[in-house]
A and B are shown apart, each in its own frame.
Chain A
Amino acid sequence: MKRKKLKRKPFVDHMVRKLSVVFIVLSFTLLVLIGAVYKVIKANGDRYQKKVLSQQTYVSSSIPYERGEIKDRNGTVFARNEAVYDLIISPKDILAKEGEKGKEKQVRLEPSLKALSQYFDIEASEVEEILAEKPGSQYVRLREDMASEPVEAYKKAMEEEEKAVEARNKKKGKEEEKEVFVDLSNCIYFEMNYQRIYPLKTVGSNVIGFATDSTTYGIENYYNSELTGTVGRNYGYFNSEGELERTVKPAENGNTIITTLDANVQQILEKEIKKFQEEGMGADRVAVVLSDPRNGEIYAMASTNPYDLNNPYDLSMYYSEEKIKKMSDQERVNALSEMWRNFCVSDTYEPGSTFKPFTVSAVLEENSATDKTTYVCDGGQTFSGWPEPIGCTHIHGTITMAQTIMLSCNDALMQMAAKLGADSFYRYEQIFGLGQKTGVDLPGEGSGLLLSREQLTPVDLGVSSFGQSNTVTMMQMIAGFSSIINGGNYYVPHVMKRIEDSSGAVVQNYPDEIVRKTVSDKTSDLLKKYLFQTVEDDSSTAVGARVKGYEIGGKTGTAEKYPRGKGNYLLSFLGYVGYDEPQLVIYVIIDEPHVEDQAHSGFATEFGAKILKKVLPFLGIYRDTGEASPAEDEEKEDKTTKTDTVSGDAVTLNE
């Protein structure tokens, strides 16, 4: 029985015939399907194609992201955003008629006009003009960048109105006619956007920079990719019931940049520079950088060209209205980029004697001379092929190694460099990062120009030793100088402390890494001592930098500018605060002071001291010894003015 069941039964002929019939019917039906598709294409192709295109904009719209904020090290906001609204009206919806056939009325016209004038102060005549001009349009931008207050007031009023109508309808009896709430949401609507706001206006303008749709500067430029978020999207799609379902892919806001800057210090700095320019002697340019030598963090940097970040294209701070009107496009662009420029990072110049600590460090580090070495200054150095000797400011006589810095003796420096040799000198220039970009996290960094090893003839080596002929940037000097006084640790100067996401979680900290070792602890200690004596010793050149109660060291500079012999100088002071562990580096540049006799670095040291006195308490750097009364400070200021004439290191070069 079982076996029988497994026997095959044939697929007999009549079944084959009927299966053939089925196959033919099914095949034919399948071919008919092609016809069904063709029918759809032929009947409605063009019309449906247009529908597809017209739907595209209707269902998705973008949601703006919020650009990241920029804050100082204490959380003070340099740059933030404010929601602004564009007011859009739809004339077609405003003019639309509604109601039973024959009794149609324009129910939305009156309320729309009323709402626009009541909440947005838009005259009915203005609206009516647009309605007459573009009655079929659904999108007319009536106002741009409105503040959020009237928009919110309007939205709230509409909601309340709707509720009120509902409440009134509830109270009414069945027979009474119900009130209809006039929904204006299709007639008047808003598009939100963010506007960049700089609450401190000019403070830190050259560092912070600004961001418009087309242009970015400063930190806004350098960290643009971090600050930029991702645009969100509003999608609508239709579910199987045919109802519109909204999906929102929210915008991702940009990251916040916490800078190393201190808004207070920055503000004081800018105020002092302004005062110097307006009430003091004034100069073609003044620039100051304050930084932390322990890690390269920049506290503040300022120069004489701040601008209002909220109106970056406004030149009125520097030019009269007439002048602006007369400017050609190119002149305007040049004037703007000059105003936006960050001198402290971009510009190069000959540093002058503030370079001397670099030469002395190299000499001590290479054991070409020691702390005990003495030099004889006879007022200059003669080089073969040069008719006149390269001069020193004074005839210093026999001086110690420390005194070469304290008295800023060019003669001794030239002797040192000659003995050190061009090879080693050039190598140390590289070690200190001169003539190279430091990698500071700001755009447009300059690199300066070093004489190449081949160009370093004996005379060029001589003048290079005290900071003439090579050009540098403030960043290079700050970074190199910091390494000399902090034990030889070269840090990249930087303005970013950390990056946080929009919820405040840390995304990235600035890697405070030592890039390289420049000098040994021993050399560093010696230089720190020399620089301290340069300020502390009454016979020295930088006594003007003293601030009562603080241990300050530093070096002055008086670089003669090209063309030589015209009496134009760039004065500078490069110093530190805190002898045991330097906590602050200050670098002051005064370019061509507006006085008869420019060659007095005392202008720079004095100005530096003035800034330090104001700024140090804000940075949490307090007096080491005793408490100084304001009276004592005044007294000290008097004393320093006398020393003006002591300082100065003129250089005479024949071309």
Chain B
Amino acid sequence: MAKVGREKEGTWESYDYSLLFLTIFLACFGLVMIYSSSSYIAEIKYKDAAYFLKRQGIAIVLGSIAMLVISRVDYRVFLKPLPWKGINLTAVFYVFALLLQLYTLFFGIKINEARRWISLGPLGTIQPSELTKVAVILFVADLIYKRAKILERMRGFVYIILFVSPAIALIGKENMSTALVIMGITFVMCFVASRKKAYFFGCAGAAVGGIIAIINSGWRSKRVEIWRNVETSEKAFQIRQGLYAIASGGLFGTGLGESMQKLGFIPEAYNDMIFTVICEELGLVGASAVILLFLLLILRIFKIAINTNDLFGAMICTGVMAHISIQVIMNVLVVTNSIPSTGIPLPLISYGGSSVIFLLMEMGIVLNISRNVGRSQMAALNRNR
């Protein structure tokens, strides 16, 4: 019923199938690489070579279903005000994410000395910070949508920072790198929305200075030590093994499934270090292809953003684009030892159910925005009535 109507409106014509295909392709490529890099360890630890493959496969199927459903629901539903005055779904969503983060801080599960997970009983565990990223993107997009003008003054920027800071604080305690990603996303979104430039260059400078200060203080300076002495430091073993893997891959790699470094040398090779296994097995050529695929992915999102003619949708696209590219950049810089080590998964490819499910949901929203591309404001208003 509705479908026929929608087709009449021409919304499916602009649906970005390339983006859908790219997203699913990257997730499936991730599955292949996860199986390749984890089967050996999975066999030893769980007596099942496909242990990680199966778990990630289920996450991708669930995430894909969520993505397809979300891409059919008008994203502007987030803007609909709820019975309470001035409160809409983005705010509810954001508050919910904050409460989850708070819960995690006190009752979360500790893995590898970090309390970042919530147990869902038999369903496994989730990492709420992945949900928080989506919530922040939607919430900031909403703030900008409602008050685009305020960003023309310093006050507006501070106003947004104030709203986002609880999320950064709550995550930053246990997961510095995700907090950095959220800061980056917020920064990019504000930068795009504002007419001013000077503030942002100032802010960027201050942020870089702050990061350096944090890095040089306390236990985190250890990471700098490791970063500088990667060849000799005992603690640099993971990064060093990753570098061995990248280097031994050469131009064309050792062939899919032929990595030697995944055989117990790179710890959790299927996780944050998966890019090193891609380099070892598929070489520089394969690694470049993966990076170019991500480039293509953000190009599609960029195109949707500039064609959407809706500030809220465009800001969401900006946030998602920032999210994906910041994570790719940080991940690759870490594994190539270009910056001090920090744990950031490669989006859509690294093992991690929460990460891939919420990313696919984000892509669902972007796909939905693509359906509204090129439509006039009037048509939108008509439809909303």
B171 at the interface (CB under 8 A from A): no
B310 in contact with A8 (CB, 8 Å): yes
B26 to chain A, nearest CB (A): 14
The answer, among B79, B192, B294, for a CB contact under 8 Å with A22, is B192
**Would you give the 0/1 interface string for A1-33, flagging 1 where the beta carbon is closer than 8 Å to chain B?**
010011111111011101110110011011101
B236 to chain A, nearest CB (A): 7
User: A59 — which chain B residues lie within 8 A by C-beta?
Assistant: 264-265
A34 in contact with B288 (CB, 8 Å): yes
User: B332 — which chain A residues lie within 8 A by C-beta?
Assistant: 33, 36-37
- For the complex, give the distance between the alpha carbons of A36 and B275 in Å: 13
A242 in contact with B244 (CB, 8 Å): no
User: A49 — which chain B residues lie within 8 A by C-beta?
Assistant: 244, 247-248, 250
**Would you give the 0/1 interface string for A35-67, flagging 1 where the beta carbon is closer than 8 Å to chain B?**
011111100110111011101100110000000
- For the complex, give the distance between the alpha carbons of A29 and B321 in Å: 13
- For the complex, give the distance between the alpha carbons of A249 and B193 in Å: 58
CB nearest neighbor in A for B259: A52
A236 to chain B, nearest CB (A): 7
A30 to chain B, nearest CB (A): 5
A241 in contact with B235 (CB, 8 Å): yes
CB nearest neighbor in A for B235: A242
CB nearest neighbor in B for A56: B260
User: A240 — which chain B residues lie within 8 A by C-beta?
Assistant: 112, 238, 267-268
- For the complex, give the distance between the alpha carbons of A23 and B305 in Å: 11
B298 in contact with A23 (CB, 8 Å): yes
- For the complex, give the distance between the alpha carbons of A51 and B243 in Å: 11
**Would you give the 0/1 interface string for A58-98, flagging 1 where the beta carbon is closer than 8 Å to chain B?**
01100000000000000000000000000000000000000
Given contacts A19-B305, A30-B329, A240-B268, contact A48 B248 (CB under 8 A): yes
B49 at the interface (CB under 8 A from A): no
A239 at the interface (CB under 8 A from B): yes
- For the complex, give the distance between the alpha carbons of A562 and B145 in Å: 111
- For the complex, give the distance between the alpha carbons of A18 and B193 in Å: 8
Interface segment among B28-36, B159-167, B352-360, B377-385: the answer is B377-385
The answer, among B191, B288, B381, for a CB contact under 8 Å with A8, is B381
**Would you give the 0/1 interface string for B70-106, flagging 1 where the beta carbon is closer than 8 Å to chain A?**
0000001001110000000000000000000000000
User: B308 — which chain A residues lie within 8 A by C-beta?
Assistant: 11
A334 at the interface (CB under 8 A from B): no
User: A40 — which chain B residues lie within 8 A by C-beta?
Assistant: 243, 246-247, 336-337
User: A19 — which chain B residues lie within 8 A by C-beta?
Assistant: 192, 302, 305-306, 314, 318
A30 in contact with B306 (CB, 8 Å): no
Give the size of the chain A interface in residues (CB under 8 angstroms): 52
- For the complex, give the distance between the alpha carbons of A45 and B195 in Å: 47
User: B245 — which chain A residues lie within 8 A by C-beta?
Assistant: 52
- For the complex, give the distance between the alpha carbons of A394 and B333 in Å: 106
B70 to chain A, nearest CB (A): 19
User: A7 — which chain B residues lie within 8 A by C-beta?
Assistant: 377, 381
User: A14 — which chain B residues lie within 8 A by C-beta?
Assistant: 195
The answer, among B235, B325, B384, for a CB contact under 8 Å with A6, is B384
B287 at the interface (CB under 8 A from A): yes
Given contacts A9-B311, A60-B264, A238-B267, contact A33 B247 (CB under 8 A): no
A30 in contact with B279 (CB, 8 Å): no
A30 in contact with B294 (CB, 8 Å): yes
Q: Is the interface of B mostly helix, strand, loop or mixed?
A: helix
- For the complex, give the distance between the alpha carbons of A37 and B241 in Å: 14
CB nearest neighbor in B for A51: B244
User: A367 — which chain B residues lie within 8 A by C-beta?
Assistant: none
User: B299 — which chain A residues lie within 8 A by C-beta?
Assistant: 23, 27
B236 in contact with A10 (CB, 8 Å): no
B260 in contact with A33 (CB, 8 Å): no
CB nearest neighbor in A for B314: A11
- For the complex, give the distance between the alpha carbons of A39 and B313 in Å: 39
A30 in contact with B325 (CB, 8 Å): yes
**Would you give the 0/1 interface string for B296-326, flagging 1 where the beta carbon is closer than 8 Å to chain A?**
0011001001101111111000100110010
B237 at the interface (CB under 8 A from A): yes
Given contacts A10-B311, A39-B336, A238-B238, contact A30 B291 (CB under 8 A): yes
B295 at the interface (CB under 8 A from A): yes
B45 at the interface (CB under 8 A from A): yes
Given contacts A41-B250, A48-B248, A52-B245, contact A236 B338 (CB under 8 A): no
B234 at the interface (CB under 8 A from A): yes
The answer, among A33, A44, A53, A60, for a CB contact under 8 Å with B328, is A33
Given contacts A34-B288, A235-B264, A247-B45, contact A8 B377 (CB under 8 A): yes
A237 at the interface (CB under 8 A from B): yes
B53 to chain A, nearest CB (A): 19
A238 in contact with B237 (CB, 8 Å): yes
**Of B238, B247, B336, which is in contact with the most chain A CB atoms at under 10 Å from its CB?**
B247
A33 in contact with B329 (CB, 8 Å): yes
A37 in contact with B318 (CB, 8 Å): no
- For the complex, give the distance between the alpha carbons of A59 and B302 in Å: 47
B148 at the interface (CB under 8 A from A): yes
- For the complex, give the distance between the alpha carbons of A34 and B275 in Å: 12
B241 in contact with A238 (CB, 8 Å): yes
User: A237 — which chain B residues lie within 8 A by C-beta?
Assistant: 41, 264-265, 267
User: A60 — which chain B residues lie within 8 A by C-beta?
Assistant: 263-264
A41 in contact with B284 (CB, 8 Å): yes
A23 in contact with B247 (CB, 8 Å): no
B265 in contact with A55 (CB, 8 Å): yes
A22 in contact with B236 (CB, 8 Å): no
The answer, among A10, A36, A51, A52, for a CB contact under 8 Å with B377, is A10
- For the complex, give the distance between the alpha carbons of A236 and B265 in Å: 8
B249 at the interface (CB under 8 A from A): yes
User: B235 — which chain A residues lie within 8 A by C-beta?
Assistant: 241-242
User: B381 — which chain A residues lie within 8 A by C-beta?
Assistant: 7-8
The answer, among A9, A23, A37, A56, for a CB contact under 8 Å with B246, is A37
CB nearest neighbor in B for A39: B336
A262-317 contacts to B (CB < 8 Å): none
- For the complex, give the distance between the alpha carbons of A494 and B245 in Å: 56
- For the complex, give the distance between the alpha carbons of A238 and B269 in Å: 11
B176 at the interface (CB under 8 A from A): no
B375 to chain A, nearest CB (A): 9
B44 in contact with A33 (CB, 8 Å): no
B129 at the interface (CB under 8 A from A): no
User: A249 — which chain B residues lie within 8 A by C-beta?
Assistant: 44
User: B146 — which chain A residues lie within 8 A by C-beta?
Assistant: 5
A50 to chain B, nearest CB (A): 9
**Of A19, A20, A47, A235, which is in contact with the most chain B CB atoms at under 10 Å from its CB?**
A19
B251 at the interface (CB under 8 A from A): yes
B254 to chain A, nearest CB (A): 10
- For the complex, give the distance between the alpha carbons of A18 and B148 in Å: 14
A492 to chain B, nearest CB (A): 37
User: A247 — which chain B residues lie within 8 A by C-beta?
Assistant: 44-45, 264
Given contacts A48-B244, A241-B235, contact A8 B192 (CB under 8 A): no
- For the complex, give the distance between the alpha carbons of A45 and B250 in Å: 7
B325 to chain A, nearest CB (A): 4
B306 in contact with A20 (CB, 8 Å): yes
Given contacts A22-B192, A36-B336, contact A11 B81 (CB under 8 A): no
A234 to chain B, nearest CB (A): 11
The answer, among A10, A15, A53, A235, for a CB contact under 8 Å with B192, is A15
A45 in contact with B302 (CB, 8 Å): no
Q: What 8 A-B pairs have minimum CB-CB distances, sorted nearest first?
A: A48-B247, A242-B237, A237-B264, A11-B314, A9-B311, A36-B336, A49-B248, A26-B325
Chain B interface (Cβ < 8 Å from any Cβ of A): 41, 44-45, 76, 79-81, 112, 145-146, 148, 188, 191-195, 234-238, 241, 243-251, 260-261, 263-265, 267-268, 279, 284, 287-288, 291, 294-295, 298-299, 302, 305-306, 308-314, 318, 321-322, 325, 328-329, 332-333, 336-338, 377, 380-381, 384
Sample 5 A-B pairs with CB under 8 A, ordered by A number.
A19-B192, A33-B333, A37-B246, A52-B265, A241-B235
Given A52-B265, A247-B44, 11 more A-B residue pairs with CB atoms under 8 Å apart are A5-B81, A10-B311, A19-B192, A27-B295, A30-B295, A34-B288, A36-B333, A52-B244, A52-B245, A237-B264, A242-B236
